Structure 1
Amino acid sequence: MIALWNSQGFRRIFLQVAYVGGILALITTCVLVARHNLQAQGISSGFDFLYKSTGWNIGFSLIDFKAADPYWKVLVIGLLNTLFLGTIGLVLATIVGMIIGLARTSENDLARLLGTIYVETFRNIPLIVQVLFWYAVATRFPPVKQAYSFADSIFISSRGLYVPGLNVTGLAAFLAICAILLALGLIVWFSAANRFKRMEPKLKRKTRWLIFASGTVVAIGILYLGRIPETPLVSTPALKGLNFRGGIRLTPEFAALVIAIAIYGGGYIAEIVRGGFKAVGSGQIEASQSLGLNRFQIFTRVKFPLALRAMLPILTNQYVWLMKATTMGIAIGFTDFFMVVSISINQSGQTLELIGILMGGFLLINFTLAAVLNRINKAIALKGDQLRM
C-alpha cells in the first residue's frame, strides 16, 4: 500500500477523485438539507406542478394558449418568445452595427462624425432606460380609430403596429426564420472549408445558391404546413369595431424591446466592426490595389473577409450578452422566459425548481449560440497570423 501511495500517478488520480467526490457530497448534502427544511415548513418540492393548470393568460404567444393549460406549456411559450425576440433583435442590431461601423471607418468626415455621435450617445445610456423610453413612445400613438395609416395596409396605434402578414402560426414563422438563418450560417461555414476553397469560382457560386435555395424551400414548406386552415394566404389588417382584424400585430412591448436592443446593441457592434476593419493591414489593401481590383472588389474579397475573422470572436460574446438582455422585457410586461418564470413562482411557490429551469433554459440558449458561432469562427480561421501589417 505504501508503494502504491508513493506512485505519483496514483496520488494524482486519488486526489482528483477525492476532490470531485467532496464537491458531489457537498451538493448532495445541500439538496437534502434544503428538501428537509422545505418539508418541515410544509412546502412541497419536485416538478409535479408542471402538469397543473396555470389559471392565467399570456399577452404574447407564438402558439395557442388557454388559461387551463399546464405550467410546462407556459414555460415553453416564454422560451419561444425569448428566442423570437432575441433572434430579431440580434439581426437588427447586426445590421445597425454594420452600418454605423462602416460609417466610423469611412473617409467621409461627416459620416465618421455621425457614427461617433451615435455610438457615444446610445452606448452610454443604460438599456433599461432605452427600453422604457421606446415603450413610452410606442404607447403614445393615437387610439385605434385615429391610427396612422400607410398605403391602407399598415397602421400604427397605441395598441401596436399592424402590418400585412401570412395566415400562418407564430411557431411556423419562427421556424421559417430559423431555416433561413441556418442556410446563411451554412454558407459561411462551408465557404471556409478547405474542400470548398479548392472549388472553381463558378462551382462555389452554384453551391452557395443551392444552399440558400434549399433553406428558402424549407422555409416555404414550413409556412405552408403552418398555414391557418380556411383562410387566405395573405392577411391585411382592417378596422372592424374597436380594433383591427387580420394581419400581424406587433405589441408595443415587443416593438420597444426590439428597437432598444437593436439600437443599444448596434452601438457596441459598431465598435466591433470598426475594430475588425482597422485590424486589416494596409499591406493586403495595397496588394489588392496592385492587382487592379476596384474598391468594391477590395471590400468584398479582401477587407470584409479578413475583418470578419477578427470580429467574430468578440461578436460571439456580444450576441450572448444581447440574448440575456431580453430579460429586460419584465420591466414593461413582455412575456419572455424570465417574466413567465417570475409569474409561475408567484402562482405556484416552486421557487427553486423554477429558478433552476430558468438557469437551465438560458444555459441551453447561450451555449448553443456560442457553440455555433465558435464552430463558424474555427471554420473560417486562417492558419497563423495573417492580419499583421
Structure 2
Amino acid sequence: MASFLKDKRVRDTGFQVAFVSSIIALAVAFVVVGKTNLDAQGMTSGFGFLERTTGWRISFSLIEYSTSSPYWKAILVGILNSLFLGALALPIATVIGIAVGVMRTSGNGMAELVGTCFVEVFRNVPLILQLLFWYTVLLGLPAPRDVEPLLGVFAFTGRGIYLPGLNVTGGSVVLAFCALAAAFGAALWLRNGRWSQATVAQARKERLVLWGLAGLAAVLCMWLGRIPDTPLVNIPEQRGLNYKEGIRVSPELMACVTAIAIYGAAYIAEIVRAGFNAVPRGQTEAGHALGLTSWQIFSRIRMPLALRIVMPTLINQYVWLFKATTIGIAISFTDFFMVISTAINQSGQTLELIAILMGGFLTINYTISFVLNRVNDAIKLKGTQLRI
C-alpha cells in the first residue's frame, strides 16, 4: 500500500478526485440548504410557473404576445428582442469601426484627426451615459403632427422613426433570406473553384448573373408571400396626430442600437487600426512593385491580412458587445434581461429565472464565439507566412 501511494500519478489522481468530490458535495449542500429555506418560507421551486399567465404587457415584440401569454413566451420575446438588437448593432458597429480604423491609418491628416477624435470621445464616455444621451435626443424630436415625411416615405418623430414596410408573411421573408444565403454560399464555393480559374471578366459576369438570379428569387418570394388585398409596399401616412401604416422603430430600440453601435465602433476602430499597422510594409511595397492601384492594395492585401490578424480580438469584442445589450433596461427596452427582471418581480421564482438568464446568455455567447472561431480557423494563415 505504501509503495502504491508513492506513485506520483496515483497521488495526483487522488488529489483531483478529492477536489472534484468536494466541489460536488458543496454544490449539493447549497441545493439542499436552498430547498430547505424555500420550503420553510412556503415558496415552491421548479419551472412549472412557465405555463402561468404573465398578466403584463411588453411594449416591443417580434412575435405575437398579449397579457394572457405564459411566462415562457415572454422569455422567448425577450431573447428574440436581444438577438434582434445585437443583429442590428453589431454589423453597424463593424462598418463604422472599419471606416474609422481606415481613416486613422490613411495617412491623411484631416481623416486621422477626425478618426482620433471619434475614438477618444466615444470610447471614454460610459455606455450608459451615451444611451441616455441618444434617448433624450430621440425623444426631443418634433411631434408627429409637426413632421413632414422625408422624401415622402420617412418620418423622424419623438414617438419613433417611421419607415416603409412590406405587407408580406414571415415565411416569405425567411425564404428570401435563404435565397440570398444560398447565393452567398455558392459565391464562396465558386470563388475557390470555377472563378479562381476563370478570367476576371468571366468571373465578374458570372457573379452578376448569380446575384441577379438570387435577387430575382428573393423578390419573387416576397411577391408570392404578399398579404392579400394589400399593396406590397406599406408607406407611412400622417393621420390626425400620429403616423399610421409603415414600420415604427421605437425610440428605445433606436437609442440602444445607436449607443451600442457607436460605442462598439470606437473599440473596433482601434482593433482594426492595430491590424493594419501589423501588416508588414513589405507586403504593400510588393503590391506597388506589381503595379497594383491603391484600392487593389487595400482590398486584396492590407484588408485580408489585417482581418486575419484581428479576428481573435474581434470575436471577444462581439461577445462583449452582445452582453452590452442588457443596458436597454435603463430606458425600458424589453430585452432578455428586462423580461427576466420583470418576471422575477411578478412570480418570485428568482433562482429559476436567474438560471434561465445565465443559461440563455451562455448559449448565445458561446454560439457567437463558436461560429466566429470556425471562421477564424478557415481564414487564418498557416505557419509563418507573414514573416518577411
Instruction: Tell me the TM-score normalised to structure 2 length.
Output: 0.89
Deviation readout 1:147-169 (Å, 9 max, x if unpaired)? 24202211111110001011246
**How far apart are residue 181 of structure 1 and its match?**
7.3
Deviates more, 1:8-17 or 1:276-285: 8-17
Equivalent-residue separation in structure 1 for 2:182 and 2:125 (angstroms): 33
Alignment of structure 1 residues 300-311 onto 2, 5 Å: 300-311=299-310
Which residue is equivalent to 1:54?
54
Please give the secondary structure, in 1, of the residue aligned with 2:37.
Answer: helix
Is there any run of 5+ residues in structure 2 with no aligned partner, and where?
A: none
Is the contact between residue 63 and residue 169 of structure 1 (CA under 8 Å) also seen in structure 2? no
Equivalent-residue separation in structure 2 for 1:214 and 1:21 (angstroms): 60
Which residue is equivalent to 1:154?
154
Letter in 2 for 1:320: V
Equivalent-residue separation in structure 1 for 2:193 and 2:86 (angstroms): 31
**How far apart are residue 191 of structure 1 and its match?**
9.2
Letter in 2 for 1:136: T
**Aligned pair in 2 of structure 1 residues 26, 237: CA closer, same or farther (>3 Å)?**
same
Please give the secondary structure, in 2, of the residue aligned with 1:57.
Answer: coil
**Aligned pair in 2 of structure 1 residues 201, 82: CA closer, same or farther (>3 Å)?**
farther
Equivalent-residue separation in structure 2 for 1:61 and 1:44 (angstroms): 30
Which residue is equivalent to 1:200?
197
Equivalent-residue separation in structure 2 for 1:90 and 1:179 (angstroms): 23
**How far apart are residue 387 of structure 1 and its match?**
3.0
Please give the secondary structure, in 2, of the residue aligned with 1:373.
Answer: helix
Letter in 1 for 2:244: R
**Aligned pair in 2 of structure 1 residues 272, 213: CA closer, same or farther (>3 Å)?**
farther
Alignment of structure 1 residues 330-345 onto 2, 5 Å: 330-345=329-344
**How far apart are residue 275 of structure 1 and its match?**
0.7
**Aligned pair in 2 of structure 1 residues 175, 37: CA closer, same or farther (>3 Å)?**
farther
Please give the secondary structure, in 1, of the residue aligned with 2:149.
Answer: strand
Letter in 2 for 1:30: F
Alignment of structure 1 residues 365-376 onto 2, 5 Å: 365-376=364-375
Please give the secondary structure, in 2, of the residue aligned with 1:78.
Answer: helix
Equivalent-residue separation in structure 2 for 1:140 and 1:157 (angstroms): 8
Please give the secondary structure, in 2, of the residue aligned with 1:156.
Answer: strand
Alignment of structure 1 residues 13-162 onto 2, 5 Å: 13-162=13-162
**How far apart are residue 176 of structure 1 and its match?**
6.4
Is the contact between residue 308 and residue 380 of structure 2 (CA under 8 Å) also seen in structure 1? yes
**Aligned pair in 2 of structure 1 residues 65, 168: CA closer, same or farther (>3 Å)?**
farther
Deviation readout 1:77-107 (Å, 9 max, x if unpaired)? 1000000001110011011101111110012
**How far apart are residue 246 of structure 1 and its match?**
1.2
Is there any run of 5+ residues in structure 1 with no aligned partner, and where?
A: none
Equivalent-residue separation in structure 1 for 2:381 and 2:295 (angstroms): 22
**Aligned pair in 2 of structure 1 residues 40, 320: CA closer, same or farther (>3 Å)?**
same
> What is the root-mean-square deviation of aligned Cα atoms in Å?
3.1
Alignment of structure 1 residues 181-220 onto 2, 5 Å: 199-200=196-197
Is the contact between residue 268 and residue 317 of structure 2 (CA under 8 Å) also seen in structure 1? yes
Which residue is equivalent to 2:348?
349
Deviation readout 1:276-328 (Å, 9 max, x if unpaired)? 11111011111121122121211111111101001111111111111011111
Letter in 2 for 1:294: T
**Aligned pair in 2 of structure 1 residues 245, 356: CA closer, same or farther (>3 Å)?**
same
Please give the secondary structure, in 2, of the residue aligned with 1:58.
Answer: coil
Is the contact between residue 141 and residue 147 of structure 1 (CA under 8 Å) also seen in structure 2? no
Please give the secondary structure, in 2, of the residue aligned with 1:293.
Answer: coil
Is the contact between residue 195 and residue 203 of structure 2 (CA under 8 Å) also seen in structure 1? no
**Aligned pair in 2 of structure 1 residues 107, 326: CA closer, same or farther (>3 Å)?**
same
Deviation readout 1:21-57 (Å, 9 max, x if unpaired)? 3222221221111011011011111101100000011
Deviates more, 1:150-159 or 1:237-246: 237-246
Is the contact between residue 103 and residue 111 of structure 1 (CA under 8 Å) also seen in structure 2? yes
Equivalent-residue separation in structure 1 for 2:181 and 2:320 (angstroms): 19
**Aligned pair in 2 of structure 1 residues 175, 88: CA closer, same or farther (>3 Å)?**
farther
Is the contact between residue 154 and residue 164 of structure 2 (CA under 8 Å) also seen in structure 1? yes
Equivalent-residue separation in structure 2 for 1:6 and 1:136 (angstroms): 70
Deviation readout 1:169-212 (Å, 9 max, x if unpaired)? 67976896698679768977x699xx769952559879977997
Please give the secondary structure, in 1, of the residue aligned with 2:62.
Answer: coil
Is the contact between residue 94 and residue 268 of structure 2 (CA under 8 Å) also seen in structure 1? yes
**Aligned pair in 2 of structure 1 residues 120, 274: CA closer, same or farther (>3 Å)?**
same
Deviates more, 1:321-330 or 1:27-36: 27-36
Is the contact between residue 176 and residue 222 of structure 1 (CA under 8 Å) also seen in structure 2? yes
**How far apart are residue 371 of structure 1 and its match?**
0.7
**Aligned pair in 2 of structure 1 residues 238, 232: CA closer, same or farther (>3 Å)?**
same
Alignment of structure 1 residues 320-339 onto 2, 5 Å: 320-339=319-338
Is the contact between residue 89 and residue 260 of structure 2 (CA under 8 Å) also seen in structure 1? yes
1:359 aligns with 2:363: no
Which residue is equivalent to 2:315?
316
How many residues of Structure 1 are paired with residues of Structure 2 in the alignment? 386
**How far apart are residue 217 of structure 1 and its match?**
7.9
Deviates more, 1:226-235 or 1:270-279: 226-235
Is the contact between residue 196 and residue 204 of structure 1 (CA under 8 Å) also seen in structure 2? no
1:297 aligns with 2:296: yes
Deviates more, 1:15-24 or 1:207-216: 207-216
